[in-house]
Amino acid sequence: QVQLVESGGDLVQPGGSLRLSCAASGFILDYYAIGWFRQAPGKEREGVSCLLTANGATYYADSVKGRFTISRDSATNTVYLEMSSLKPEDTGVYYCAVDILALNPTPIRPSTYDYWGQGTQVTVSS
């Protein structure tokens, strides 16, 4: 059974940094896409970043390019989202998810993802 468990969410001041983790288990596939999404109150869930395990390619939403970095530790099957220069508009619940087909990694659309974690809250506020 596929399980995705996020952690690392917190309250942080504007300009600060945070690292989110997503521990993945239960996979039998070698190649898939793993993505990070976020959802602010009253807004739709949006794609933030994704990584293709087949070749390590990474993709980012324009709003986070240059500030966020996605990476993966294949030994532990953990995916990280390093976030820096955080802004109040980065506030939301952050989810990791897996797309088992990984055919169209961009744009990063929630509808193409098959498995989801429970989310972790990130709040950027002074």
Segment 56-68, tens digit of pLDDT: 999 999 999 999 9
Which of the pair, 88 or 102, is modelled with greater confidence? Answer: 88
Mean pLDDT for 72-79 is: 92
50/12 Cα distance (integer angstroms): 23
- Looking at residue 1, its pLDDT comes to 84
Angstrom distances, CA of residue 110 to CA of 74, 88, 115: 23, 22, 10
- Phi-psi region at 42: left, alpha or beta (left = phi > 0; alpha = psi -120 to 50): left
What the block records as the tokens of 112 is 């193409």
Mean pLDDT for 113-122 is: 97
Contact status, residue 36 vs residue 94, Cβ threshold 8 Å:
yes
- Looking at residue 81, its pLDDT comes to 98
Mean pLDDT for 40-45 is: 95
- Looking at residue 105, its pLDDT comes to 86
- Looking at residue 2, its pLDDT comes to 87
